[in-house]
Structure 1
Amino acid sequence: MSGIRVGLDVGGTKIEALALGEDDTVLARTRIPTGWGDDAVIAAVFAAIEALAVAGGFAVSEVSSIGIGIPGLVDAPAGRVLHAVNLGVEDLDLAAAIRARIPVPVAIENDVKAAAVGAGSLRGDARSMAYLNLGTGVAAGIVIDGALWRGARGTAGEVGHLSVDPAGRVCGCGQRGCIETFCGGGAVMKAWGRGGELPIRDIFDLAEAGDDLAVELREGIAFGAASAIRSLVLSADVETVVIGGGITALGDRLMGDVRARLRSENAASPFLASLRLDERIELLPAGSPAASLGAALVGAALLHGEGPHTGRVVLAGSTAPNEPAPSERAETASEGALHG
């Protein structure tokens, strides 16, 4: 066995790791806790790779490339993580640290951009799409003609910080009424202020029971998500917006609200109606390893000096050793959106 490509999605609480074989079949998936600070993050990355090797029955020496998706500001060409507040990392040459022990090509990419590549591969079609992540924050990755589009300064897809209500709540970026203040898990939890094990689910449940604040926040989530979708289509004219992230654990309840919001906007604007926005959205299937898969593909691209391959990847038969059952997965993802 050779040519194994490894991808890691490094989050604030855990690392999701995946190994791809030469035929694009997933050989193994695993999950381990993430550390805090430079040294702990590096140690966790090595631990995840070693755990993959054990689960997949291969040696670390058989790994041909490594890709890492990580939140925050990333200098992808340099392989540096410049600002990942949830990991306690301010400036880390992560690629060099990994290559010092595993001398193979190592790519570092923003986690949402990596997930966009993975989502395109899972769909088997990445000609014109965006991946919209509704998690603790809100951001998107854009893939055009199979290639990741970063923009002039790497900020393409940062729709979470588009202001759609100048009189709205203050965003962490300093503006008011950003899309993220409406449908970002962190902002919604702060506005909710009631705690709870799964606040987003509580908001949806209590909105159906008539709770005024819950109704306001639930409507705001749909408004924010619809605004992000509209912004992505109007700015990049992507054919499809794939929606993922912790909040999407609500599944059809969320998508029903978002489609209803888009249709109500269509009714007020013949121009928006012509765009058929409600028909151009998809929900990333629960448990899909889009971020770790995308990271593996971004890392593999360094082997050939080209953009990430986005052909379909086989997931059948692959499981994560500690992956939650489908009934648990929604709760885990929703909690992660609000507390991760």
Structure 2
Amino acid sequence: MTNGPEAATPSTHLVRRINAERVLQEVWAGVPVTASDLMAATGLARSTVLALCRELTDRGWLVELDDARAAGAYTKGRPALRYAFRPDAALVVGVDAGQHRVSAAVTDLHGRVLAEESVQADPACDADARRATVRGAVDTAVARSGRSHRAVAAAVLGVPAPVGTSGAPAGTRNPFWARMNPGLDDLFAARGWDVVVENDANLAAVAEAEHGDGAAAYAALLVGERIGAGIVLDGALRRGPRGAIGEMRILDLVEGVGSSDGLGALARDEARRLLDAGRTPSSALAAVPRERLDAEQVLRAAAAGDALAREVVDGLADRLARVCAILSGLLDLDRVIVTGAMAPALGPVVERARVLLPDHLHDPAVELVVSDLGPDVVRTGAVRLAVEHVRARALDRDLPTDA
């Protein structure tokens, strides 16, 4: 015995959900559409499209606009209802929980930044203090957005450590990695947010895909205090079961490289070493107190022709060329992108490395470029990943009405 022709079955629920997802994906970009537009894009019948738009509007994902006649689109015939996606239906949080700085941004579902906060972090602090630092930056950013934390659907946290497939810390025998990710995956569990913890270089690679030239195989290199690589092959980010793809500890074994220390750290430390050894005492850097000497000063001095600084830059370039050769030789990359906060200052290093790179390659096809995304590249990738997370699970969520 049936319950009538309109009785819902699991299969009809599934079809309705699939169709609702198709409609939502079509409107997500934000351009107002009519039922006719959606019919043409999805192949669904008018009655189905109108019913789904009503449902999505009732659930808070869409807003019904003035009809096309009122909007001036046409003057004859029956006016057509117009619908648009609501990018403010929920918020996301993107965080770069770096070694020395934690930066958080709250955005709408189009990635528009509504509020942000950046605080200094102590790389040697314990787990409770690091969790408090991250939570504090996020809470301040959310408060500045003018919305309640109930409006947040997802948060993505970038950390300078490998992350396993479950989001839990990987490689916990490494004390640095354990400090950088002290179980951040459950930091906002009580609020009901979806939280994703991801390696910072992987998030940089996500951001570079959004602003790149469509390379299908590339590495995004973070090169400040350490070298980390986010690897994209065949257009997809590669992590590995323990999140170890792109971890560069292997550089400890590479002749001419010797460690995974970043170019920023190396520029500072090598300049200090040469100065302490009495090399080129006429260098302008000799007048800078050792504890205040940093990579930016070394790179500026090199650009001004300082001999000691240029020696440091040549060493950095050779090191970078070798790293690129290893990645390209193993992974057959189209491009290596030097990214992160140090990237804008590393132009001379990259130019010199481009000259040296062919000597290390059998087939010098890889392109070496400098990113223009600036110091917030990890946070940018975190926001993008958070938006995609919400987009893929939108119909699993009931939007709050009071946030």
Partner residue of 2:363?
A: 272
1:37 correspondence with 2:126: yes
Structure 2 residue 91 is matched with structure 1 residue 7:
no
3-state secondary structure, aligned to 1:65: strand
Structure 2 CA distance, aligned partners of 1:294 and 1:257? Answer: 28
- Determine if the alignment matches structure 1 residue 241 to structure 2 residue 336: yes
CA distance in structure 1 between the aligned counterparts of 2:118 and 2:180, rounded to whole angstroms: 24
How far has the Cα of 1:99 moved from its partner? 0.9
The answer to whether the 8 Å contact 1:113/1:142 transfers is yes
Given the superposition, is the C-alpha separation of residues 77 and 165 from structure 1 closer, same or farther in structure 2, using an over 3 Å criterion? closer
Residue of structure 1 aligned with 2:306, choices 209, 221, 224: 209
Query: Do the aligned residues in 1 keep the contact of 2:341 with 2:376 (CA within 8 Å)?
Result: no
Matches of 1:140 and 1:90, distance apart in 2: 17
Tell whether 2:166 aligns with 1:77: yes
2:227 to 138, 141, 144: 138
Q: Deviations over 1:95-146 (max 9, x none)?
A: 123212x211101111112221122223374633210111111121112344
Q: In the alignment, is the contact (CA less than 8 A) between 2:340 and 2:376 conserved in 1?
A: no
Q: Identity percentage over the alignment? A: 22
The one-letter code sitting in structure 2 at the alignment partner of 1:50 is: D
What secondary structure is seen at the aligned counterpart in 1 of 2:244? coil
Query: Is the alpha carbon distance of 1:70 and 1:261 closer, same or farther for their aligned partners in structure 2, counting shifts above 3 Å?
Result: same
Asked whether the equivalents of residues 68 and 295 of structure 1 are also in contact (C-alpha less than 8 Å), the reply is yes
**Counterpart residue number, 1:93:** 183
Q: Does 1:221 align with 2:316?
A: yes
Counterpart amino acid of residue 97 in structure 1: L
* CA shift in 2, pair 1:281/1:110, >3 Å: same
| Counterpart AA for 1:5 | V
Indicate whether 1:51 and 2:175 are aligned: no
CA distance in 2 between counterparts of 1:165 and 1:180 reads 10
Deviations 1:259-316 (A, max 9, x none): 22225x28xx7x334x1x3xx222121535220122233344544669xxxxxxxxxx
For residues 155-197 of structure 1, what are the alpha-carbon distances to aligned partners after superposition, in whole Å with 9 as ceiling and x for unaligned? 222345335754x6xxxxxxxx42535x543344333335253
| Structure 2 counterpart of 1:49, one-letter code | V
User: Could you say which structure has the greater relative contact order, defined with CA pairs below 8 angstroms and 6 or more residues apart?
Assistant: 1
Which of 382, 385, 390 is matched with 1:298 structurally? 385
3-state DSSP class of the match of 2:163? strand
Specify whether residues 196 and 129 from structure 1 end up closer, same or farther in structure 2 by C-alpha distance, changes over 3 A only.
Answer: same
Contact 1:67 1:300 in 2 (8 A): no
Structure 1 CA distance for aligned equivalents of residues 336 and 180 of structure 2? 31
Which amino acid in structure 2 is aligned with residue 210 of structure 1? Answer: A
Q: Does the CA contact (< 8 Å) of 1:18 and 1:30 recur in 2?
A: yes
Partners of 1:223 and 1:253 in 2: CA distance: 12
Provide the C-alpha distance between the structure 2 equivalents of 1:206 and 1:294, rounded to a whole number of angstroms. 32
1:178 aligns with 2:244: no
Instruction: Name the CA distance, whole Å, in 2 between partners of 1:42 and 1:148.
Output: 27
> Helix, strand or coil for the counterpart of 1:136?
coil
Tell me the secondary structure at the aligned position of residue 89 of structure 2: coil
More displaced, 280-289 or 225-234? 280-289
Provide the C-alpha distance between the structure 2 equivalents of 1:53 and 1:23, rounded to a whole number of angstroms.
17
Confirm whether residue 250 of structure 1 aligns to residue 345 of structure 2: yes
Distance 1:122 1:249 in 2: 16
- The offset of 1:94, in angstroms, is 1.6
Match of 1:281 among 351, 368, 371: 368
1:162–1:14 CA distance, 2 compared to 1 (3 A): closer
Which segments of 5 or more consecutive residues in structure 2 lack a partner in the other structure? 1-87, 276-289, 394-403
| 1:114 aligned partner | 203
Structure (1 or 2) with the larger CA radius of gyration = 2
Amino acid at match of 1:234: G
Q: TM-score, normalised to structure 2's length?
A: 0.62
Kindly provide the amino acid, as one letter, of the partner of residue 265 in structure 2: G
Contact 1:7 1:299 (8 Å CA) reproduced: yes
Distance in 2, Cα, partners of 1:124 & 1:29: 28
CA positional deviation for 1:30:
2.5
- Cα 1:6–1:200 change in 2 (3 A) is same
How far is the alpha carbon of 1:206 from its aligned partner?
A: 5.4
Corresponding residue for 2:401? none
Equivalent residues, number? 285
| 3-state SS of paired residue (1:131) | strand
- 1:231 has 2:314 as partner: no
Runs of 5+ unmatched residues, structure 1 = 169-176, 307-340
3-state SS of paired residue (1:41): helix
Residues 159 and 228 of structure 1 are in contact (CA less than 8 Å); yes or no, is this contact kept in structure 2? no
